[in-house]
Amino acid sequence: MIDPADLPALHASHGGIWLRDSGRTQGLAKGRAIARAAETPVLLLNAPLTGQRLGYPELNGLDLLELWAFLHPARFLVPTPKGLAAALNLAVPASEGDIPGLLQQAAQVMLDRLGSTDWTEREGGWTAAQSLHRLRWTWAPLVAPRIAKPKEAERWLFSKLPEWEEAQPRPAPRTIALDEGQVLARLDALTGAGAEPRPGQRAYAAAASAAFLPRRHRDQPNMLLAEAGTGIGKTLGYLAPASLWAGQAQGTVWVSTYTKALQRQLDRESLRLFPDPAIAAKRVVVRKGRENYLCLLNLEDALQGGFTGRAAILAQLVARWAAFSKDGDMVGGDLPGWLPTLFRRNGSTALTDRRGECIYAGCPHYRKCFIERSSRASADADIVIANHALVMINAARGRETGQRPQRIIFDEGHHLFDAADSTFSVALSGQEAIELRRWIMGPEGGSRGRRRGLAARLSDLASYDEEGGQAIRAAIDAAQALPADEWLKRVVAGEPFGGLEALLTAVRATVYARAADTGEADAGYGMETELAEPDGALVEAAQEAALALDALIKPLVRLGRRLEAVIEDAPDWLDSAARARIEGAVASLGWRRDLIAAWLALLTRIGGPADPDYVDWLAVDRIEGREFDIGIHRHWLDPSRPLAEAVLKPAQGVIVTSATLKGGGEWSNAEGRSGAVHLPHGAERFEAASPFDYPGRAEVLIVTDIKRGDIAGLSGAYGRLIEAASGGTLGLFTAIRRLRGVHARIADRLARAGLPLYAQHVDPIDTGTLVDIFRDDPRASLLGTDALRDGVDVPGHSLRLVVMEGVPWSKPTVLHAARRLAGGGNAYDDRLIRARLAQAFGRLIRRAEDRGSFVILSAAMPSRLLSAFPPGTPIRRLTLDEAILAVNASARAQTLGEAAALGHQGAESGMPPQETE
């Protein structure tokens, strides 16, 4: 067998390139390193990232992350040399020159585990190794000989996955009233004996318990708006009454988040409720949209030849993971976030149900489906951890009627308005329309895949019910008017086919004509224009498109009626599986009918009077000058109205909570953006300030001598500030172009100082993994955009400086302009900006012992916005040199305080410390 010590190992960073071969490590130039990697496979850690550092994106080799994914499919690993060393109990390299040696040691340890009797993920390993050998996986010659052939044939993945079972519907929850003393006793049990007293948390739990009282008025839930500052401990504050009510009333509480990071945190906190993981898995269920879960039918197609090359290797590694996964969640679950990125464009999206193509009970793996299992598990759970969009969709139009959320806690409630804005909007675009065509017609021409159209999905109905068969055929005929493959090329060339493509052509022409006056056409980014005063060509195209959609919706309505009739008067062939499939088709048809009806309403507005409840606009979506979609968009001017009607009014109790719920403004802002203002009796309020010593442990520094638009000056400021803080910096940008420009100028310089720099939209790593890397290395820094401004919980030893490139002004879109006009002009803008500043500042102090600086690189920061920061926080306007001295002093104080903080944590009781949010 090949000895890993004989394999060359390569490491490349912004600080240099090192190769270890024949027992000797040496530095190399890029050209020599590329040539060496091309002539023989070398050991690497994260080939895409290494290739990017070398300027050779197609670099391949023996990637240790792929070996880890085979060896421990569902185990967490920070994909850095330090993370790898920690996971394998190896010494952390003292310098980057020692990393190639670590890679050789790590390869030896992992390969040795393959032959160990205590390898816990052995099942299926031999079979997977044989399949990967046939696919020419680079690790196969080293892996396959080390795995002993099992005495009996290993079961295939699809035969060993457990089946879910149907259960009778859960009875309605009992009507009870919680006793405050019991709630506080439950809170004490969750926090643990010896935990520091938190009066704010106890008051919060008592206030939250009122949301679980019996409802007193129709169309009026018991609703609480609760702003609890960072450090109050609101997670356990609401879980105490929620879990108590769920146990006593035998009902389900939905806890909804906006970010996947908080979902993961809540899942961890569930072990406080149920310390036995087996019980916790039944009583607490994480729910996400269908597009997050592995589709077993897609995976089977991929394993049986649907994928080729590197994508086929990914499918095999995902199959290994599926056998050990907790719930099949591929996005934010226990699938390593870095795994799909190792395969570049051969990603994992084709393994999930992203196109609404599920055939439900018609699928041979229906009884083992991760999505269906999660759905059924949530029916009997005490706590369902979901996201805002799923809760809204499930409440508004979910097919799980009996599971519509009745007791809801919206954590990260400051995002509720944005989530409702997205959920209740509509877009008639080329991408949306072609997906509808594919759902109706299935594969066309020589296209491959397992997608099935209406005719294939409902073939038994067509043969049994003549009218239903006619409706299917009529729908297929009408769908010919929808955009087909290569629609964008035809639209750009001005040669549309069908009424919908003609409409998109007219939309594009209008956008480009109006964008010419603003300069947007040359900027390379998306363009949009208000849907006002349309010309004759656009009005005529809209009328023709409306006729085509009307011809499509009619047979779909008839088909839905026939399906309902078949269910009501069931024929002999309608067994439980067929019934489930037809019920799924009824629900899917309902969604598509609603979508087409919304499109028709949108088209009838063109050339007619505007609807004051909506904002409509035309858009051409582009990335760096390349068009990828064209369409017409409609959003509610106030999306909290449909939120109140569809979600809040039918509910029994609702809590909307956040550390920044008021967004740095008044309660009226929280009431307006949460939908409470549209309820007959409004909502109760609760407020608790953060217990942290912001005046003593944080400061806001406004740098006044950075010239606007000076990318060199901006880069220099970022570089010097990161050096002053010795890393531990989160840099926030409002434009990807400036982020990339700053990163390109300072990454090498910082790396030479031993300060790694990572960046969204630059490094080929998913955002969740970037945050994991940042959290794990106190000397690392991370640059990012809006996604990192909220929902990122990094302890003080890894995050001691937040730098914003400037004031986070709102992008001047058509939608923003309309809401600004309706919301009070400058006052509306100020509320949004204060909220963004408060959210960004909230990343800085997450624990009582944290200390740090918040820097804004803009002299244009208006004083009226400074109320976004906690009262008493020192705020200074100063030069960059003065800011660097202040940051350096704060970082030194944080370093000196870390040892004391660690000693304090070690002295606490056996319960882990509470999360802050």
How does pLDDT run across 26-38, given as a tens digit for each residue? 999 999 999 988 8
Distance CA 337, CA 347 (A): 11
pTM score, whole prediction? 0.91
Mean pLDDT of 775-785: 94
pLDDT at 329: 92
pLDDT at 795: 76
What is the DSSP code (8-state) at residue 344?
T
Mean pLDDT of 464-468: 82
Sheet holding 801-804, edge to edge: 757-759, 781-784, 729-732, 801-804, 852-856, 698-703, 875-878
**Lowest pLDDT segment from 10-14, 138-142, 348-352, 551-555:** 348-352
Question: What is the pLDDT confidence band of residue 824, given thresholds at 50, 70 and 90?
Answer: confident
Reply yes or no on whether the pLDDT at 769 is more than 80: yes
pLDDT tens digits, 880-911: 999 999 999 988 887 776 655 445 444 444 44
pLDDT tens digits, 77-105: 999 999 999 999 999 999 999 999 999 99
The CA–CA distances, whole Å, from 592 to 392, 584, 588 equal 17, 12, 6
- Kindly state the percentage of the chain with pLDDT values over 70: 93
Q: What is the largest CA-CA distance in the chain?
A: 83
The torsion angles phi and psi of 676, rounded to 5 degrees, stand at: -60, -30
Residues 337, 342, 345: CA angle, nearest 5 degrees:
100
pLDDT at 395: 83
Mean pLDDT of 102-118: 94
pLDDT at 897: 64
Sign of CA dihedral 265, 266, 272, 278: negative
Mean pLDDT of 483-487: 93
**Lowest pLDDT segment from 402-406, 477-481, 809-813:** 402-406
- Kindly state the percentage of the chain with pLDDT values over 90: 66
pLDDT tens digits, 660-704: 999 877 899 999 999 999 999 999 999 999 999 999 999 999 999
If 0-12 CB within 10 Å is exposed, 13-18 middle and 19+ buried, where does residue 533 land?
A: exposed
pLDDT at 523: 58
- Residues 6 or more apart from 680 whose CB is under 8 A from it? 217, 219, 220
pLDDT at 355: 64
**Lowest pLDDT segment from 172-181, 280-289, 511-520, 617-626:** 511-520
pLDDT at 644: 97
700's enclosing H/E stretch is strand 698-703
pLDDT at 913: 52
Q: Between residues 562 and 133, which one has the greater pLDDT?
A: 133
Mean pLDDT of 440-444: 81
Q: Between residues 404 and 54, which one has the greater pLDDT?
A: 54
pLDDT at 464: 75
pLDDT tens digits, 200-220: 999 999 999 999 999 999 999
Mean pLDDT of 551-566: 91
- The number of C-alpha atoms within 13 Å of 104 and in the hemisphere containing its C-beta is 20
The CA–CA distances, whole Å, from 432 to 282, 429, 510, 593 equal 37, 5, 20, 14
For the chain, what is the mean pLDDT?
89
**42-46, 162-166, 573-577, 887-891: which has the highest mean pLDDT?**
42-46
pLDDT tens digits, 826-875: 999 999 999 999 999 998 998 888 899 999 999 999 999 999 999 999 99
Reply yes or no on whether the pLDDT at 761 is more than 70: yes
Q: Where are the alpha helices (DSSP H) in 622-766?
A: 640-643, 667-674, 694-697, 711-725, 736-752
Q: Between residues 235 and 912, which one has the greater pLDDT?
A: 235
Q: Which residue has the tokens 């909290």?
A: 640
pLDDT at 252: 95
pLDDT tens digits, 372-406: 899 888 889 999 999 999 999 888 765 444 568 89
